[in-house]
Structure 1
Amino acid sequence: MIRFLISAFVAFAFPLTMVRGGEEEYYRLIDVSVAKAATDSRSKNWKPAPDGLALEVGGLALLDDSRLAVAIRKGEVWILDGVYDDPPNNVTYKRFATALHEPLGLLYHQGDLYTTQRSELTRLRDVDGDDVADEYLTAAKGWGVTGHYHEYAYGPKLDGDGNLWITLNIGLGLKGDQLKRVVPNAALGYRQGRWRGWGMKLTPAGELVPVCAGMRSPSGLGTNAAGDMFYTDQQGNWVATNSLHHMRPGAFFHHAEALASMNEPGSTIHGVEQVPSGLPLPQALKQFKPLRPPAVWFPYKKMGQSTTDIMLDQSGGKFGPFDGQLFVGEFTQAGINRVFLEKVGGEYQGACFPFRLGFASAVLRMTQGNDGSVFVGLTNRGWSSLGRASYGLQRLVWTGKTPFEIKEMRAKPGGFELTYTQPVDPKSAGDVNSYRMVSYTYLYHSTYGSDEIQTKTPTIVAAEVSEDRKRVRLRVEGLRPYFVHELNAPGVRNASGQPLVHPEAYYTLNRIPEGQQTSTASQSN
């Protein structure tokens, strides 16, 4: 699931807790239940779960009565009450379900809890109202499971049309004699269990439908404000770096071995005869027509090392100035990043921004509470991550102070438009020397990850400040489609002379607008 070789090395290259300056002033962390790390001698402020319960969080779901359901690695679901208390000294725990096979998602839907086990999507029903599941019902099944450790299954998440979505990991390095079910006459010679590396949806009518393919380790799912479904992938073979993708019928994203199910009944991808390797992404997109670029690339290490869950801020401003944007979990660096999306030419693209580091362990799951705060499920699951613990549950609370940030970065003809959370100082924000930009792309190949390649420095020729001093139009020469445009704005100040909390932004420019018609269907504000 997670980048298990490199992340183990990298985790020791940083302090156990890494926090960017100023983040805690705006977003405060509360330990709900955090397990003390074996190497940490401190004891105060630690709030473990009772009776040695290892709260290795694999799924989170908020119930109607503000209690929190938590799925854990050992195959159980617990219901927690008192999670909003500050400090949370009286949290109660009740086991709701047990004997599940590594649930890696949890959803409260139509009065029941749904979770994806390795081999099925399961509906958990409490018939008599005693907070213990009485029925374990198979909602969907039909994908291959061979016993390979990397065959994780994630979800479900609910889209705007009432479909339940799941994603399925590729099994790494599988050989024919390891498979309990080998795809006959597998496409291009690739061999995987059925539908490995695919995204699937369960319709309201109960039909399980394969939708899109090419996933490696798609551990995060979530919708935007328009109800469209997205997933995150993690750097590895065929995957240049971490990424965010719009899931839709017939799309192919990265990992070629998912094509082993191309000839299965119901496949939305057909007729692929050759997969290129060793090409820059823009060139690969021209040669390999089914291939679709990510909506957003997360440049490696700069924006984390292992992307996880996706959460839409639906708080209406209770979580700060980013209502309608996406938040993406980060495993290795134990953090959360932020994403602004827009549609250009009918396709999603956008920018990612740093948001918050310093969590107690790897961030795997997130859900938003009814007060706007965010519950964050932690587990490093045997892989290394930053932080002081191996697993636990924390809550991230907005302090009410608005950070000075680049709120949005939109593509415009001949450049970009930046929207800030606070009015800017027009002198600094209007100075082209306050900004730096580089652009680069990646190799599409079967090798593990990719360096940034074909790097150039676009020229920022003008920075025009709007009358309300909340927007700046950057005129840029040298824009390139299918390239990441990395912006740094260290010289920009707000009206009080303060710098940006995070001066970095990374825009994945798949399409350059030809006119003024861009859509922000992904945002609710």
Structure 2
Amino acid sequence: MVIRISGFLCIQLCALTLACGQGTEADYYPLLSVSTSQTATDSRSKLWKPAPDGLPLEVSGIAVLPNQRLAVSIRKGEVWLVDGAYDEPPNNVRYHRFASALHEPLGLLWHQGALYTAQRSELTRMADTNGDDVADEYLTVAKGWGVTGHYHEYAYGPKLDANGNLWVTLNIGLGLRGDQLNHTVQHSRLGYRQGIWRGWGIRISPNGDWEPVCAGMRSPSGIGSNLEGDMFYTDQQGNWVATNTLHHMRDGAFFHHAEALASAEQPESPLKDVAKVPNGVPFPVAVQQMPALVPPVVWFPYKRMGQSATDIMCDRSEGKFGPFHGQLFVGEFTLAGVQRVFVERIEGEYQGACFPFRSGCASAVLRMEQGTDGSVFLGLTNRGWSSLGEASYGLQRMKWSGKTPFEILEMRAKPDGFELVFTRPVDRQSAADIGSYKIASHTYQYHAAYGSDEIDVQDLEVAKAEVSEDAMSVRLTVKGLRPLYVHALEAAGVQDQKGNTLLHPQAYYTLNQIPKP
């Protein structure tokens, strides 16, 4: 089945053949289907066998286990063990039910010899104590956040940080009414009402104590850490949320969704002094007016960089997945793909750039986990919502073919522009030509309405392009940089030393702070 979304289908499909002379995305990162909801003959995806009859493998969580096994949670409330997922082709995949009777688990983690999942109302530890591959012990690790019965109150996770803490993120409830209001808290001055701690990030210590850490989340379906063990989450466009975003979770931060402030007056809240929320102003103005509001690490321009951001995975493979070790990969639901993110610290705060990476997955990418060989397992489910792809759900594996694509590896902020680092040496003539680059900046409206157009758009001048001695980087001098604006780069004219253009010439840098000289 093919779904057409606002005329964007052709752009997404053309991404498979963007490069001139260097091949397609599939040549560098082929997709191998372990299981999908239907068989197909698409040679790009290499779809093979479905899951056993009657098993809707709507993957909501993935955990990599010892001995080349996987565990996957599914939306109907079960956890299945998968053997043979690394086989090529995966003709002998075997499935075994490990756990059942869960309430919409939306994450899975293998930790200290057991599996952990976030259900709607609690974080649960599932253990097999007698070695028969069936969970016989279900223990509550943490509970106590609000559940009113609203359909949108999802709980995601857990993921692990550098200090051994587990993290869970909680969806906001939308348009609560009737009996649901009996189970809410309300901010006395701002008037917002939600189930307690809805729209918050929760940190659970190794001894089981938990605390609300940061607020302002709408639909935080992706959580993950970077190499340093700092925690990030993705959010999805909606009311108060201009477009998809990536955020750094830390104590006392407020991100954007104002209704999460319903819990701000609770004794455990690290956010107690928010007296007013701006509404209907450009985001940089909102940051000035509201000290608690922290900008995203990365904005994902809508449609150009997906429509519904999901899971976060850090490449920890040390080169087994190509040249992107240490970078973050973000799943995309509606357009059934994966995006790539480079982050850096400026004045102690994270900011960075996002890049297109892989389109053409069999269905919506909800979960990602890196296998022991560096390949990446993709958990798919469109959950009845629209997404591109020929399947409704399934499990795919994305490999690196061993060939390095010509890409912008990093985009780094400088006091007067940006430094572009490439995966291959560039052709000096094309890379030094300022006509090879176009750059513009924009921001978004911060308001209670749904989403935002790109506003205050300005074309910027690339004044100089200096190629490094080893031809692996280019220093761009750009006039008119603006803090707290997205800087959208198109480097369509840059070629490598064999005359190939970039596989993806687009990059979008969220310039929260301009580095000091």
TM > 0.5? yes
Q: Percent identity?
A: 67
4+ long deviations beyond 4 Å: 184-187
Structure 2 CA distance for aligned equivalents of residues 243 and 196 of structure 1: 18
So what's the TM-score if we normalise by structure 1? Answer: 0.94
1:25 and 1:219, CA in 2 relative to 1: closer, same or farther beyond 3 A?
same
Which residue does 1:412 correspond to in 2? 414
| Among candidates 487, 505, 508, match of residue 503 of structure 1 | 505
Note if contact 1:460-1:475 (Cα within 8 Å) is conserved in structure 2: yes
Please give the per-residue CA displacement for 1:416-472, whole angstroms capped at 9, x wherever unaligned: 000000000000001100000010000000000000000111111000000000010
Shift of 1:274: 1.1
Which residue does 2:342 correspond to in 1? 340
In structure 1, stretches of 5+ residues that fail to align are: 1-6, 516-525
Q: What secondary structure sits across from 2:193 in the alignment? A: coil
Please give the per-residue CA displacement for 1:135-163, whole angstroms capped at 9, x wherever unaligned: 11000001000111100000000011111
Q: Is 1:290 equivalent to 2:292 in the alignment?
A: yes
Q: Is 1:20 equivalent to 2:22 in the alignment?
A: no
Which residue does 2:214 correspond to in 1? 212
Note if contact 1:350-1:409 (Cα within 8 Å) is conserved in structure 2: yes
Structure 2 CA distance for aligned equivalents of residues 12 and 405 of structure 1: 26
1:124 and 1:284, CA in 2 relative to 1: closer, same or farther beyond 3 A?
same
Shift of 1:10: 2.2
Structure 1 CA distance for aligned equivalents of residues 53 and 497 of structure 2: 53
Which residue does 1:138 correspond to in 2? 140
Shift of 1:66: 1.8
User: Which amino acid letter does the alignment assign opposite residue 59 of structure 1?
Assistant: G
Which residue does 2:5 correspond to in 1? 10
User: Which amino acid letter does the alignment assign opposite residue 149 of structure 1?
Assistant: Y
Q: CA RMSD in A?
A: 1.8
Q: Is 1:479 equivalent to 2:481 in the alignment?
A: yes
Structure 1 CA distance for aligned equivalents of residues 432 and 512 of structure 2: 27
In structure 2, stretches of 5+ residues that fail to align are: 18-23
Note if contact 1:432-1:461 (Cα within 8 Å) is conserved in structure 2: yes
Shift of 1:206: 1.4
The 5 Å alignment of 1:459-478 reads: 459-478=461-480
| Among candidates 113, 116, 131, match of residue 114 of structure 1 | 116
Shift of 1:48: 0.8
Q: Is 1:357 equivalent to 2:352 in the alignment?
A: no
1:116 and 1:389, CA in 2 relative to 1: closer, same or farther beyond 3 A?
same
Which residue does 1:521 correspond to in 2? none
1:45 and 1:408, CA in 2 relative to 1: closer, same or farther beyond 3 A?
closer
Structure 2 CA distance for aligned equivalents of residues 339 and 270 of structure 1: 33
Which residue does 2:386 correspond to in 1? 384
The 5 Å alignment of 1:36-185 reads: 36=38, 45-175=47-177, 177-184=179-186
| Among candidates 283, 308, 313, match of residue 315 of structure 2 | 313
Q: What secondary structure sits across from 2:30 in the alignment? A: strand
Q: What secondary structure sits across from 2:16 in the alignment? A: coil
Q: What secondary structure sits across from 1:246 in the alignment? A: strand
Note if contact 2:34-2:49 (Cα within 8 Å) is conserved in structure 1: yes
Note if contact 2:187-2:264 (Cα within 8 Å) is conserved in structure 1: no
Structure 2 CA distance for aligned equivalents of residues 45 and 487 of structure 1: 35
Q: What secondary structure sits across from 1:160 in the alignment? A: coil
1:208 and 1:8, CA in 2 relative to 1: closer, same or farther beyond 3 A?
farther
Shift of 1:65: 1.6
Q: Is 1:228 equivalent to 2:224 in the alignment?
A: no
User: Which amino acid letter does the alignment assign opposite residue 197 of structure 1?
Assistant: G
Shift of 1:175: 2.5
Structure 1 CA distance for aligned equivalents of residues 12 and 390 of structure 2: 7
Q: Is 1:491 equivalent to 2:486 in the alignment?
A: no
1:167 and 1:507, CA in 2 relative to 1: closer, same or farther beyond 3 A?
same
Please give the per-residue CA displacement for 1:248-290, whole angstroms capped at 9, x wherever unaligned: 0000001000000001121010121111100001111000110
Corresponding residue pairs, total: 506
Structure 1 CA distance for aligned equivalents of residues 471 and 186 of structure 2: 62
Note if contact 1:16-1:388 (Cα within 8 Å) is conserved in structure 2: no
Note if contact 1:320-1:398 (Cα within 8 Å) is conserved in structure 2: yes
Note if contact 1:16-1:387 (Cα within 8 Å) is conserved in structure 2: no
Structure 1 CA distance for aligned equivalents of residues 149 and 425 of structure 2: 55
Structure 2 CA distance for aligned equivalents of residues 217 and 154 of structure 1: 9
Structure 2 CA distance for aligned equivalents of residues 8 and 495 of structure 1: 39
The 5 Å alignment of 1:427-442 reads: 427-442=429-444
Note if contact 1:176-1:182 (Cα within 8 Å) is conserved in structure 2: no
Shift of 1:397: 0.6
User: Which amino acid letter does the alignment assign opposite residue 250 of structure 1?
Assistant: G
Q: What secondary structure sits across from 1:25 in the alignment? A: helix
Q: What secondary structure sits across from 1:51 in the alignment? A: coil
User: Which amino acid letter does the alignment assign opposite residue 381 of structure 2?
Assistant: T
Note if contact 1:17-1:386 (Cα within 8 Å) is conserved in structure 2: no
User: Which amino acid letter does the alignment assign opposite residue 315 of structure 1?
Assistant: S
Structure 2 CA distance for aligned equivalents of residues 23 and 235 of structure 1: 27
Higher deviation after alignment, 180-189 or 130-139: 180-189
Q: What secondary structure sits across from 1:457 in the alignment? A: strand
Structure 1 CA distance for aligned equivalents of residues 505 and 150 of structure 2: 42
1:427 and 1:15, CA in 2 relative to 1: closer, same or farther beyond 3 A?
closer
User: Which amino acid letter does the alignment assign opposite residue 300 of structure 1?
Assistant: Y
The 5 Å alignment of 1:228-247 reads: 228-247=230-249
Higher deviation after alignment, 221-230 or 173-182: 173-182
Shift of 1:8: 8.3
User: Which amino acid letter does the alignment assign opposite residue 232 of structure 1?
Assistant: T
Shift of 1:11: 7.2
Structure 2 CA distance for aligned equivalents of residues 176 and 326 of structure 1: 41
Note if contact 1:166-1:199 (Cα within 8 Å) is conserved in structure 2: yes
User: Which amino acid letter does the alignment assign opposite residue 24 of structure 1?
Assistant: A
User: Which amino acid letter does the alignment assign opposite residue 107 of structure 1?
Assistant: L
Note if contact 1:11-1:332 (Cα within 8 Å) is conserved in structure 2: no
Shift of 1:52: 2.0
So what's the TM-score if we normalise by structure 2? Answer: 0.95
